[in-house]
Amino acid sequence: MLTLDVHPTGRHFLQIPGPSPVPDRILRAMSLPTIDHRGPEFGTLGRKVLAGIGQIFRTKHPVAIYPASGTGAWEAALTNTLSAGDHVLMFETGHFASLWKKMADRLGLSTEVLSYEGSDEHLPAAPGWRRGIQADMIEARLRQDTQHRIKAVCVVHNETSTGVTSDIAAVRKAIDAARHPALLVVDSISGLASAPFEHDAWGVDVTVSGSQKGLMLPPGISFNALSPRALEASKTAGLPKSFWAWDEIVDMNKDGYWPYTPNTNLLYGLSESLDMLLGEGLDNVFARHARWAEGVRSAVTAWGLPIQCADPAVYSPVLTGVITPPGVDADAVRRLIHQRFDMSLGTGLGKLKGRMFRIGHLGDSNDLTLLATIAGCEMGLKLSGVKLVGSGVQKAMDFFSSHAAPDTLKKEAA
Ligand SMILES: *Cc1c(COP(=O)(O)O)cnc(C)c1O
């Protein structure tokens, strides 16, 4: 029999960039009794979360909510808008962009991937995995496509494997500048509710997201935010779909219900998450993550280690990737930190395996949990024999104490 005989004291530090630590408030909300998903109480809950999630995506149009992980919502975005053999243009920002391409290939789409063409001193094998989307390359490619064979441009907003956030408004401008009718389909699974995102204002046709990153929920629900053009495309899109089909979901959602059983208790959690995020105000939420990210980067810089994101204009507010010195296996460092200090850090994915680790700064967190996170990394790096230039803990303490969080300043004034 498999028994879980180790239960360390104190809280586990879940510092991976999703699933993020879930606030107690949300866990408590989820422990309410499961109700009839066709009953009157459920309709009230359904209508509330559907209205609230629109405010998070900043859209006036429908948002489909699936009882599935983010990967399911990726599939939904493609199968509802495209037909077999359709040509889609993607941009290789990292591991998640590559996985989405693999899915598109498996679904029978014809994929074309653009990637950054420059070089990189720290990661010569994957220079594009340190930078954001180059919108000018997308524009140039679309201008060549005078026959409009490209049906969709699919891009990742916050590349969780690298800690790079791309400029989605620039991608929309590139499509418009080329006067190209392709749909803009965006993965903001880890960007939503942590990094600024504007579904309507940026002219996104489908935004894909998930529950376990910025929304601070456990894994298990995912989203497609839609545009009128995406809904129009879904009427003629030929890829097979049934569970993912938007038409029945959008229709039944008008009254707050679903065609099949939604995950009731996760929706209680979503309702609580919406109260928290909208109560704080989304712009405050974004500023909070940007400040945390800056504090964490100050520590990495003090250690003298390179940050995975090479372009300061597109640093992710959600996570920071840390490149370990040549010869130091980042996964061995992570294992040591887990064993000694009960903290989980993100692994290097795909081309980055063993070369870097990722520090998540999202979900239920504050200055002191982040300082402890940095302390765990610093101890683990030293124990692994990495020569650090200086103390990241000291640097982050200096940063957090000299840059007070806006909400704590408000408290002082009161
Ligand atoms: C987490 C994540 C996914 C995958 O979502 P799952 O919920 O694991 O299926 C896809 N893309 C990005 C950018 C992610 O962060």
Could you report the per-residue pLDDT of 128-159, keeping only the tens digit for each?
999 999 999 999 999 999 999 999 999 999 99
Residues 101 and 134 in one domain: yes
Residues 42 and 178 in one domain: yes
| Residues 318, 314: Cα–Cα separation, whole Å | 11
Spacing, Cα 33 to ligand 1 middle (Å): 29
Residues 261 and 294 in one domain: no
- Which ligand 1 atom lies nearest to the CA of residue 74? 10
Q: Is residue 5 situated within a structural domain? A: no
Of 256, 280, 304, the last residue of a domain is 280
Residues 315 and 266 in one domain: no
User: Does 98 contact ligand 1 (Cβ within 6 A)?
Assistant: no
Residues 262 and 347 in one domain: no
Domain that holds residue 44: 24-280
CATH number of the domain enclosing 290: 3.90.1150.10
Residues 315 and 193 in one domain: no
User: Does 348 contact ligand 1 (Cβ within 6 A)?
Assistant: no
Residue nearest to atom 5 of ligand 1 (CA): 70
Confidence (pLDDT) at 406: 76
Residues 333 and 273 in one domain: no
Mean pLDDT of the chain: 96
pLDDT tens string 316-374 = 999 999 999 999 999 999 999 999 999 999 999 999 999 999 999 999 999 999 999 99
| Residues 308, 348: Cα–Cα separation, whole Å | 10
Predicted TM-score of the model (pTM): 0.97
Spacing, Cα 215 to ligand 1 middle (Å): 13
Spacing, Cα 193 to ligand 1 middle (Å): 14
User: Does 189 contact ligand 1 (Cβ within 6 A)?
Assistant: yes
Of 280, 301, 319, the last residue of a domain is 280
Residues 224 and 295 in one domain: no
Model confidence band, residue 390 (pLDDT cutoffs 50, 70, 90):
very high
Of 259, 280, 301, the last residue of a domain is 280
- Which ligand 1 atom lies nearest to the CA of residue 72? 9
Binding residues for substrate: 358
| Residues 255, 115: Cα–Cα separation, whole Å | 44
Instruction: Please answer whether residues 265 and 217 qualify as being in contact, where contact means their C-beta atoms are separated by less than 8 angstroms.
Output: no
Residues 309 and 397 in one domain: yes
37 has a pLDDT exceeding 90:
yes
Instruction: Please answer whether residues 158 and 196 qualify as being in contact, where contact means their C-beta atoms are separated by less than 8 angstroms.
Output: no
Residue nearest to atom 2 of ligand 1 (CA): 189
Q: Which of 20, 98, 159, 189 to mutate to test the pocket of ligand 1 (most atoms within 8 A of CB)?
A: 189
Evaluate the omega torsion of the peptide bond into residue 127 and state whether it is cis, within 30 degrees of 0: no
Spacing, Cα 378 to ligand 1 middle (Å): 28
